[in-house]
Chain A
């Protein structure tokens, strides 16, 4: 079994480690490019959201590299992503790819299938390798986020444009090679030090802007047109509100035993939204409200075109913006998004905030 899985930011690093520890041969799809998107758009339904299209493209590129099985997550709920594994299964079947799909979802939704799929995942080294695989993957996941968070702080302070990008790419590369807990921790320390190395200690970030929105578009740089990097190069320190580590703790660990509650989020969104509307809709409203009160300078919401939960949140955000006097910019991305208009909006948004704060910065 040569197994592959969809990209989402740097999640391929823990994903690859997890499957390798279980004794599988892993095919990591090439990082998403325009070609991936074109492939995906050709074979996915036009009305589907961008994540599905990019994922299909990635699977087909992995197929060309020899993959025969796809690992995907599933679920139920108002976000369409939960059903995408089935849609993908059908598309890949109709194309005659021979790709098989294994779906990981919460155990009580379809106990028979999940047992079957998990058994296939564990068949090589069996249950014995699982604890270590989980441990290594978990450490790598935390490590990726730690490195990326450092990059968020370094980007507005980098000595020359692009140095942080190179330092992060190298640090993630080293982390990917690391295969013991100790080397993983070393890779994080070294990577963070290397990142701070490219920062100018005399430079301060002009503004702090939080990024909220749909998880895939927030985390996948190809899909969000390198949003974090663009903001960083405009002198902004980005506050990421979406974390896979947190998502795993909430939805996988607590969620699978029914312990995950949205009470806290609901309290934060009180007055605007009263419950979970799927995806990260509730999170978007709750975190915007929280961070606005904590004094963040602005909020950028990013969502794929036609994303239902985020569209609901988008309609609520102007009220939050008015109540807190907080600038909010909603950006919708799909395969037709033009880079020029995207950059213009970001620059204008950063200008808007810096001019009103009186910290005029031109050129």
Chain B
């Protein structure tokens, strides 16, 4: 006898480094499936792979879809989303699902980092890194690779340090040359990594979190939260306990799924726009060109499924239809 299909909400977060998908149970609000895939510069490919993997993981009846992340528009076009939300709202919603009392969310992802302050269950203030990506996941990835260690071991090695060295962390270029300098002086890898963790935390607190009142409970989310060295340095600098929620690396997707559920209840009766898991099997491609309709020269992108256009964006001017490629 075939198993009854589980009613779920699909949350998708297409970020710079990872593409995450989660399925939220309609009845229990549990997370039934979670995928953390590397975007590898090809978000369309990552999305298709995610859809195939989810289909293999069970029988699902998708009630609604939420998309977030810097690639939210793309995700919404390809899989058909009912809710398209910015990362800040999605992360805050997910944090509140995990801990309704949460007051501060620290999120450090692949290329951006943010702080979200929550008071009485609503976002009261937020900030994102503005001019530079220093202190985000990509830099840690790169430094781990340079030192020949796996990024998964980074945190544990840093925690072995007794005597962290001081690294200039204002800018990744200087941080790297300072790390090399310290390494040539003979400091141990553990001390250098622990020093880098402290430098990154200093940089985050004086840059992104500048002037913000950090109150407990503090949640630490995003891919970098896997790094116990960074978490330890954060706790030491703040003098507060910092909690890492179980789905820390997919909180954006969790938030998107929760928002999809909320929206289904606020707009009762309307069905989902979900395109079906079969999207994973179809031929997805994108074409892009520079529109020559006016001096704006907008870069137009068109997404195609099996050769037919799904969506098109990039136009900034008054021309309702961008001129097609020559």
Contacts and interface: CB of A to CB of B under 8 A. Distances in A.
Contact of A363 (B82, B124, B131): B82
A363 B295 contact: no
Contacts of B297: 33-35
Given A226-B316, A340-B70, A348-B123, A363 B84 contact: yes
A340 B122 CA distance: 24
A293 interface: no
Interface stretch (B86-94, B139-147, B237-245): B86-94
With most chain A CB atoms within 10 A of its CB, the pick from B83, B259, B316 is B316
A362 B259 CA distance: 8
A352 B123 contact: yes
B262 A362 contact: yes
B263 interface: yes
Interface string B81-109: 01111111100000000000000000000
Interface in A104-123: none
Nearest to B117: A352
A46 to B, nearest CB: 14
Given A351-B123, A352-B124, A344 B88 contact: yes
Given A30-B295, A162-B320, A318-B211, A345 B85 contact: no
Contacts of B320: 162, 166
A348 B318 contact: no
A355 B318 contact: no
Contacts of B126: 348, 352
B89 A347 contact: yes
Contacts of B266: 360, 362
A362 B86 CA distance: 11
A128 interface: no
A96 interface: no
B128 interface: yes
A344 B86 contact: yes
Q: How large is the interface on A (under 10, 10 to 19, 20 to 34, 35 or more residues)?
A: 20 to 34
B85 A362 contact: yes
B124 A348 contact: no
Contacts of A208: none
A31 B87 CA distance: 33
A336 interface: yes
Nearest to B119: A356
Contacts of B83: 362-363
Contacts of A347: 85-86, 88-89
Interface string B278-291: 00000000000000
Contacts of A348: 86-89, 123, 126
A165 B128 CA distance: 30
Interface in B281-326: 295-297, 316, 318, 320
Interface in A72-113: none
A341 interface: yes
Contacts of A34: 296-297
Nearest to A358: B122
B298 to A, nearest CB: 9
B130 interface: yes
A352 B122 contact: yes
A34 B299 CA distance: 11
A332 interface: yes
Interface string A309-339: 0000000001000000001000010001000
A181 interface: no
Nearest to B263: A362
A30 B295 CA distance: 8
B252 to A, nearest CB: 12
Interface string B57-78: 0000000000000100000000
A169 interface: yes
Contacts of A345: 88, 128
Contacts of A340: 70
A343 B87 CA distance: 11
B13 interface: no
A169 B130 CA distance: 32
B263 A351 contact: no
B25 interface: no
A244 B130 CA distance: 30
Given A340-B70, A341-B128, A352-B124, A166 B318 contact: yes
B318 A351 contact: no
Contacts of A166: 318, 320
Contacts of A226: 316
B122 A33 contact: no
B263 A363 contact: yes
B191 interface: no
A50 B124 CA distance: 30
13 contacts: A35-B297, A162-B320, A327-B125, A336-B131, A341-B112, A341-B128, A348-B86, A348-B87, A351-B88, A352-B124, A355-B89, A355-B123, A363-B83
Interface of A: 30-31, 33-35, 162, 165-166, 169, 226, 318, 327, 332, 336, 340-341, 343-345, 347-348, 351-352, 355-356, 360, 362-363
Interface of B: 70, 82-89, 112, 122-126, 128, 130-131, 211, 259, 262-263, 266-267, 295-297, 316, 318, 320
Given A344-B128, A352-B123, A363-B84, 11 more contacts: A30-B295, A33-B297, A35-B295, A327-B125, A341-B112, A344-B87, A348-B88, A348-B89, A348-B123, A355-B123, A363-B267
Among all A-B residue pairs, the 10 with the closest Cβ atoms: A348-B88, A347-B86, A362-B263, A351-B89, A356-B122, A352-B123, A344-B86, A363-B83, A348-B86, A33-B295
